[in-house]
Amino acid sequence: MKPINIYISILIAVFSISVNAQKLLTKKEALKIALENNYGIKLANNNVEIAKNNSSIYNSRMLPTVSGLAGANYDNSNQEIVRQDGTLTNIDGAETKSYNASVNLNYTLFDGLGRKYNYKQLKETYNLTELQARETIEITYLQLFTVYFQIARLSENTKNLKETLNISKQRLQRAQYQYEYGQSTKLELLNAEVDVNNDSINFLNNKQLYNNTKRDLNIVLGVQQNENYTVETDVNFISLLSFDELLLKAKANNVILNQNEKNIAISEFNIKANKGSYLPTVGLTSSYGWNKSENPATSFLASSLSNGLRAGINLSWNIFDGGATKTRVSNAKIALENQEILQEQQLETIENTLKNTWEEYHTKLFVLKAQEQNVITTQNNFDRTEERYKLGQVTSIEFRQAQINLLNTQTAMNNAKYDAKLIELELLQLSGQLLDVEF
């Protein structure tokens, strides 16, 4: 055996040994790992927590503010006092000491309803952030299964390539015996050897791509998963609704449309909040204070002490602010109009995308059924050709062609199967049902 054949055989043996002890990573397990560890989902969940904190009553300016103040002052100075009768008194190092403490409360009783609508804006912003997190999860679903099914596709292709290689090796061995016994030419042997080398290269390249794709899956999972695992290759298609029913689901549940509905609500509250600047503001102030002072001999009072409660109410009304409020309200109305226009555009886009994806899905299902039938046909053709080849009734070229036809149809069927499943997932995402599917 030539050195290159020995090298390829060693590599194939190594790959074959590694497959035997592999653990199965199910779709459900992969999804669970991704939901717990995917970096994008972690960031989205943190953003939801920030929005939740921002939507709290503590961030609404609806609660009063309470502050405490305290202080002490000391003064040492030389003083000269001239009384009304003309007498003069000089005091060096006259000391003055004062102390104060207070608790102050401020509360806005009415601010033109600005706080009310700002608070509602914050609540809607929190709901919007939750929808953005949901969109991130949906995108992660599609990323996960795109890579997962690619691994499954490559796994089945690798299996088919290995089977093709084994058949080519048997043919090479047969050609070797026939050549040694003078029953075939050197050309027949060389052709068989070339086919073995080509099949070996295709097998190794596909196996390498298979391992690379496993590493790509680790990025989506958010963990350094051991590469020594296999994935599920079975694909179950679900019974989808009719197009009209899917369209109704999409209009009600599509995450992009839902986000825009929240943006419309936020814009509406923004208009109302800005209109609040036309109205007056009423505030309440209250404090409880304590004050003490110790005065020098030059003061009329030697010391003083006071404490008590003080309260007041105030009203302010910005009757004309130069048109700033009017400008904000006008711009907020335009922003609302833009969101409504965007909603119409997105609705048309999603309806069109759903229609295209729906038709593509059914086309892929038809192709899959056709390819399944092709595999049956080419398998039968290959089996018959193989029998006739062993009997010497067909040439090696005809046998090789039957072998290639079988491999090509098997590959085409695998591609059609996983392509159809991924398009099915896209349909579920468009209609807002992706997160409800059991894998």
Domain ranges of the chain: 3-61+113-279+322-436, 65-110+281-316
pTM summary value: 0.84
Which pLDDT score, from 0 to 100, does residue 5 have?
A: 52
What is the percent of the chain where pLDDT is above 70?
93
Q: What is the pLDDT of residues 192-217, one digit of tens each?
A: 899 999 999 999 999 999 999 999 99
When pLDDT is cut at 50, 70 and 90, the band that residue 295 belongs to is confident
Rounded-to-integer distance, Cα 130 and Cα 49, Å: 9
Count of Cβ atoms closer than 10 Å to residue 75 Cβ = 11
Least reliable range by pLDDT among 96-110, 339-353, 370-384: 96-110
Dihedrals phi, psi of 286, to nearest 5 degrees: -155, 150
Beta strands 229-231; 23-25: pairing state: parallel
Cβ 100 vs Cβ 259: under 8 Å: no
Nearest to 338 by CA among 253, 275, 267, 270: 267
Mean pLDDT score across all residues of the chain: 90
Q: What CATH homologous superfamily does 3-61+113-279+322-436 map to?
A: Outer membrane efflux proteins (OEP) (1.20.1600.10)
- Which is higher by pLDDT, 122 or 304? 122
Give the pLDDT mean for 339-363. Answer: 96
Residue located via tokens 């040694």: 180
Is the pLDDT score of 35 beyond 70? yes
Query: Residue 173 belongs to what H/E stretch?
Result: helix 114-180
When pLDDT is cut at 50, 70 and 90, the band that residue 30 belongs to is very high
* Both structure tokens of 265: 């609500």
Count of Cβ atoms closer than 10 Å to residue 237 Cβ = 12
Give the pLDDT mean for 405-410. Answer: 95
Residues paired with 77 in a beta bridge: 94
Which pLDDT score, from 0 to 100, does residue 304 have?
A: 83
Rounded-to-integer distance, Cα 335 and Cα 268, Å: 9
Give the pLDDT mean for 47-76. Answer: 92
Which pLDDT score, from 0 to 100, does residue 21 have?
A: 55
When pLDDT is cut at 50, 70 and 90, the band that residue 354 belongs to is very high
Which pLDDT score, from 0 to 100, does residue 92 have?
A: 77
Count of Cβ atoms closer than 10 Å to residue 57 Cβ = 10
Which pLDDT score, from 0 to 100, does residue 182 have?
A: 79
DSSP reduced 3-state for 393: coil
When pLDDT is cut at 50, 70 and 90, the band that residue 241 belongs to is confident
Count of Cβ atoms closer than 10 Å to residue 99 Cβ = 15
Rounded-to-integer distance, Cα 303 and Cα 189, Å: 121
Is the pLDDT score of 82 beyond 80? no
When pLDDT is cut at 50, 70 and 90, the band that residue 293 belongs to is confident
Which pLDDT score, from 0 to 100, does residue 90 have?
A: 77
* Both structure tokens of 271: 């208009």
Cβ 286 vs Cβ 312: under 8 Å: yes
Q: What is the pLDDT of residues 367-395, one digit of tens each?
A: 999 999 999 999 999 999 999 988 889 88
Cβ 248 vs Cβ 242: under 8 Å: no
What is the percent of the chain where pLDDT is above 90?
72
Beta strands 229-231; 281-294: pairing state: unpaired
When pLDDT is cut at 50, 70 and 90, the band that residue 14 belongs to is very low
